């Protein structure tokens, strides 16, 4: 059976996007996996520290247990999303035990987010985590640059961020980072934004983001690992296609399915699950156009 690292390399080579679905509610896991299977696609199920930091019952172990109930490894694998070294409140996080626990639980890939660190410290932290996960045949995702949307205060306007390239991943730094950190996948900042984690904005429609494809092309030429796009919900479809042609192999999707689930939850869990299933099918078939593409990445 192929590893997650091998699958992502296949996706990059075949120019097929692998969506990674964030699951802040455990009951989202089943309908997402069902949709991926029904449309013969491949995806990652993922959970991030920000989604369960204040609610351990929805933490890594609970997600792993729920994932195992429905898992079909020819269609889905499990990924640990954003574990920051410095969080959105500029506070240090004791990331080592979190990532160690995920590896022990059987997460096949993990993300260490040292993007708020100086370059040398980000390299060192990523290298440490990569060594741990590689010992068990797993994959390490890292981040370089700043994908806006996870800050405690109000961010700049989207147009200001995009036009000025605020936080965009530096090409020369990316070349050095990949060479020295031993990461398997690199999350880059080229125009997408995270969904707001503020309760005041969580129900609002996300900005229709763009990608700076010229900058992305330079990054793709500088590094040889699959690139990752965070904040995928709301990115205009034509830019996603352009991004995939330029090395994006994984894209995180959270807001799009979370809002569908929470709207349905006002009626019942079953309605919320059906809404999640339908929205996931739309994402796979219409938005990303990867229905029936599973064999291109898993063989």
Write down the pLDDT at residue 148: 66
Q: Which residue, chain included where needed, has tokens 């080592």? A: 96
pLDDT, residue 209, reads 83
Burial group, residue 97, by CB count within 10 angstroms (0-12, 13-18, 19+):
exposed
For the chain, list the strands marked E by DSSP.
18-22, 43-47, 76-84, 109-113, 139-144, 185-188, 227-229, 248-253
The pLDDT score that the predictor gives to residue 56 is 59
Complete DSSP assignment for 5-24? HHHHHHHHHHT--EEEEE-S
Q: What was the pLDDT predicted at 245?
A: 96
* Interior angle at CA 280, CA 15 and CA 246, nearest 5: 20
> CB burial class (10 A; 0-12, 13-18, 19+) of residue 2?
middle
- What is the Cβ-side half-sphere exposure of residue 3, based on CA atoms within 13 angstroms? 15
Please count the other Cβ atoms lying within 10 Å of the Cβ belonging to residue 59. Answer: 17
The partner residues of 19 in beta bridges, in order of sequence, read 251
Output DSSP code: residue 147.
Answer: -
Reading the chain (299 residues) residue by residue, the pLDDT tens digits are 999 999 999 999 999 999 999 999 999 999 999 999 999 999 999 999 988 876 755 799 999 999 999 999 999 999 999 999 998 888 999 999 999 999 999 999 999 999 999 999 999 999 999 999 999 999 999 999 987 665 555 666 777 777 766 789 999 999 999 999 999 999 999 988 766 533 434 555 656 788 999 999 999 999 999 999 998 888 999 999 999 999 999 999 999 999 999 999 999 999 999 999 999 999 999 999 999 999 999 98
Domains of the chain by start residue, with CATH: 4-298 (3.20.20.70)
With H, G, I as helix, E, B as strand and everything else as coil, classify residue 76: strand
Query: What pLDDT, in 10s, does the model give residues 147-184?
Result: 766 555 566 677 777 776 678 999 999 999 999 999 99
User: Which class for 1: exposed (0-12), middle (13-18), buried (19 or more C-beta within 10 A)?
Assistant: exposed
Confidence at residue 9, expressed as pLDDT on a 0 to 100 scale:
98
Secondary-structure breakdown of the chain: helix, strand, coil percentages, each rounded to the nearest 5: 45, 15, 40
């Amino acid at each position: 059976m192929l590893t997650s690292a091998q699958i992502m390399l296949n996706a990059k080579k075949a120019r097929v996007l692998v969506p990674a679905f964030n699951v802040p509610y455990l009951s989202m896991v089943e309908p997402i996996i069902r949709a991926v299977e029904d449309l013969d696609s491949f995806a990652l199920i993922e959970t991030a520290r920000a989604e369960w930091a204040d609610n351990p019952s929805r933490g890594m172990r609970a997600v792993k247990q729920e994932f195992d109930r429905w898992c079909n490894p020819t269609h889905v694998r499990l990924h640990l999303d954003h574990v920051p070294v410095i969080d959105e409140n500029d506070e240090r996080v004791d990331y080592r035990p979190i990532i160690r626990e995920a590896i022990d639980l059987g997460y096949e890939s993990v993300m260490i987010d040292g993007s708020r660190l100086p370059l040398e410290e980000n390299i060192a932290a990523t290298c440490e985590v990569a060594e741990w996960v590689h010992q068990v045949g797993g994959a390490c995702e890292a981040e370089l640059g700043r994908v806006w949307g996870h800050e405690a205060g109000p961010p700049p306007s989207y147009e200001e961020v995009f036009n000025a390239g605020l936080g965009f991943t530096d090409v020369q730094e990316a070349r050095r980072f990949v060479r020295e950190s031993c990461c398997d996948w690199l999350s880059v900042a080229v125009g997408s934004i995270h969904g707001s984690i503020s309760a005041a904005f969580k129900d609002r429609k996300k900005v229709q983001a763009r990608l700076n494809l010229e900058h992305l092309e330079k990054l793709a030429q500088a590094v040889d690992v699959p690139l990752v796009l965070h904040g995928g919900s709301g990115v205009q479809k034509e830019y996603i296609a352009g991004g995939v042609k330029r090395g994006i192999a994984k894209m995180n999707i959270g807001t799009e399915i979370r809002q569908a689930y929470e709207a349905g939850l006002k009626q019942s869990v079953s309605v919320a699950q059906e809404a999640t299933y339908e929205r996931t099918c739309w994402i796979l078939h219409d938005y990303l156009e990867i229905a029936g593409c599973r064999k291109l990445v898993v063989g």
